[in-house]
Chain A
Amino acid sequence: MKIDLEHRQSAHCESGVTSNLLWKASGGKITEPLAFGIGAGLFYAHLPILKFNGGPAIAFRTMPGWIFKRTCRSLGIPVIRKKFSSREKAKEFLDEQLASGQPVGCQVGVYYLSYFPKEYRFHFNGHNLIVYGKDGDNYLISDPIMETSTMLTSYELERVRFAKGPLAPNGQIYYTQFSGEISDDRIRESIKSGIKHNVFNMLNIPGPFAGVSAIAFSGKRIKKWLSKLGIDKAKLYLAQLVRMQEEIGTGGGGFRYIYAAFLQEAYAYLPQPELLEISKMFTRSGDLWREAAIQASAIYKGRLGSQADFDKMGDYLFEIAELEKEAFLALKNIKWKA
């Protein structure tokens, strides 16, 4: 059986899944950037005590699952979310939903995701896809980062739904049965609250490990990597930073471009000229992140490698921290007319 669901490719898996699951209910209003912004997806965190795949634990977005949760809550859309301890029950439940015509979002691990090439398969459990039908033993999959829809056998799907490790999905499944209309007023309110939430996350979380202060914190750390870790490890750390920032699912520039796009779309609902100006600041920030990535790549490719090169890398992050602080302060200070 196949549920009517148009596959739409997006940059980021979770905001893409959110947008696609809400597509019908919202009449296509909730685009990927809107889902990302309303869900307060932009973030930065650097947790020095944690290691991720042997490198620094750095994130450019909020916790997996939160974008969907916040977006739906903010738009007043009830969400059903389930985790399972039993694989059989997880499959049964999924089959029941599909049989009743309900497409569902699934959190999965990518290590055993068979349609990913080997190079992209790490033990990362925060990936999201939509299951929208079943054909014999094959499940029909709409993975938002893929150009076309794809398939997984029941065994393959079970394995990725029950991947282990950090953020283990435990068969997590989520969907909404909402079929009402989402009014423009509601979207306006949601945009404002999404921005407010994001401002808080980037400016007001105490300590140096989250928000704009964490960007500067990383900058400081990076300057010490060469002397503390030695060149080989320092290279790997930089490579990891760039992967977190640019790899599939970010839309480029560590999600900063998606956020800039969100602010432009927000302007269509709330015509405050500041939004367009601040959007440009995030474009600039995304550009800076990418310039920094080029600097980092010159180091891990071995063309550069002196302390001065690491200092320059760190300085990029200081500059970005300043710029994003300014941008979020400007967002905070908007006096909404509507």
Chain B
Amino acid sequence: MKKEHVPQDLSALGKLTKEVCYATDENGRYVTELSSGWHVKASALDATWDDIKERVAVARQQVLDGKASPVLFFMEHRLMNLKLVADYTGFWQWQIKRHLKPDVFNQLSETKLQKYADAFNTTIADLKTLTVHEN
């Protein structure tokens, strides 16, 4: 890639930093050049997030309909899978699968709820009410 072709498309990357790209100058020598983003990869990121948002919305609806517990919602919201939730909480995956059922979830002890709250970086109150924060 030639230096003057290093893309400068504004995107979410701009909130973070400009990134270093390696590109060739007029003599064909490699130099570094800062890029503020590239629409091709910005849209790859968008496509990924659209999918995540949809999954989170579906999960929320399932919880509201009483078909799943808040654990499902927060698992999607935090981009986790069963394995990762298991790693963060210390529960077995089969336990978490049970806790995905609203009836089982509603009877969980405070200690267990706190483990979920910690894993999802939230509080027990917010866990139960599906309240999300930026962090």
**Contact A168 B13, beta carbon cutoff 8 Å:** no
The residue of chain B having its C-beta at the shortest distance from the C-beta of A238 within the complex is: B44
In the docked arrangement, what's the CA distance between A293 and B47, Å? 14
Can you list, as one digit per residue, whether each of A241-271 has a CB less than 8 Å from chain B (1) or not (0)? Answer: 0110011110111000110110011000000
**Contact A252 B22, beta carbon cutoff 8 Å:** yes
Can you list, as one digit per residue, whether each of A276-300 has a CB less than 8 Å from chain B (1) or not (0)? Answer: 0001100100110010011011001
The residue of chain A having its C-beta at the shortest distance from the C-beta of B18 within the complex is: A147
B25, chain A: closest CB distance, angstroms: 11
**Contact B19 A165, beta carbon cutoff 8 Å:** no
Chain A residues with CB under 8 Å of B41's CB are 242-243, 246-247, 293, 297
In the docked arrangement, what's the CA distance between A69 and B101, Å? 46
In the docked arrangement, what's the CA distance between A261 and B3, Å? 13
In the docked arrangement, what's the CA distance between A241 and B32, Å? 24
Q: How many residues of B contact A (CB 8 A)?
A: 41
**Contact A264 B38, beta carbon cutoff 8 Å:** no
- Give the contact stretch, choosing among B64-72, B79-87, B92-100: B79-87
B55, chain A: closest CB distance, angstroms: 9
Can you list, as one digit per residue, whether each of B22-36 has a CB less than 8 Å from chain A (1) or not (0)? Answer: 111000111010110
**Contact A257 B45, beta carbon cutoff 8 Å:** no
Interface of B is mostly: mixed
The residue of chain A having its C-beta at the shortest distance from the C-beta of B16 within the complex is: A117
A245, chain B: closest CB distance, angstroms: 8
Chain B residues with CB under 8 Å of A300's CB are 43-44, 47
A266, chain B: closest CB distance, angstroms: 11
Chain A 111-130 interface residues, beta-carbon cutoff 8 Å to B? 111-112, 114-120, 122-123
B117, chain A: closest CB distance, angstroms: 14
Chain B residues with CB under 8 Å of A290's CB are 1, 40
* Interface membership of B122, Cβ < 8 A: no
**Contact B20 A112, beta carbon cutoff 8 Å:** no
In the docked arrangement, what's the CA distance between A294 and B40, Å? 6
Chain B residues with CB under 8 Å of A145's CB are 17, 19-20
Most chain B beta-carbon neighbours within 10 Å: one of A115, A145, A168: A145
**Contact A243 B87, beta carbon cutoff 8 Å:** no
Chain A 132-186 interface residues, beta-carbon cutoff 8 Å to B? 145-147, 164-165, 168
**Contact A33 B30, beta carbon cutoff 8 Å:** yes
Q: What are 23 A-B contacts with C-beta separation under 8 Å? A: A9-B17, A11-B19, A11-B32, A112-B121, A115-B16, A116-B16, A117-B15, A120-B12, A120-B13, A146-B17, A235-B47, A236-B47, A238-B44, A239-B43, A243-B44, A247-B45, A252-B35, A264-B29, A264-B30, A265-B30, A279-B30, A296-B44, A300-B44
**Contact A242 B88, beta carbon cutoff 8 Å:** no
**Contact A283 B24, beta carbon cutoff 8 Å:** yes
The residue of chain A having its C-beta at the shortest distance from the C-beta of B40 within the complex is: A297
**Contact B87 A261, beta carbon cutoff 8 Å:** no
Chain A residues with CB under 8 Å of B34's CB are 147
Most chain B beta-carbon neighbours within 10 Å: one of A119, A243, A249: A119
**Contact B1 A239, beta carbon cutoff 8 Å:** no
The residue of chain A having its C-beta at the shortest distance from the C-beta of B38 within the complex is: A246
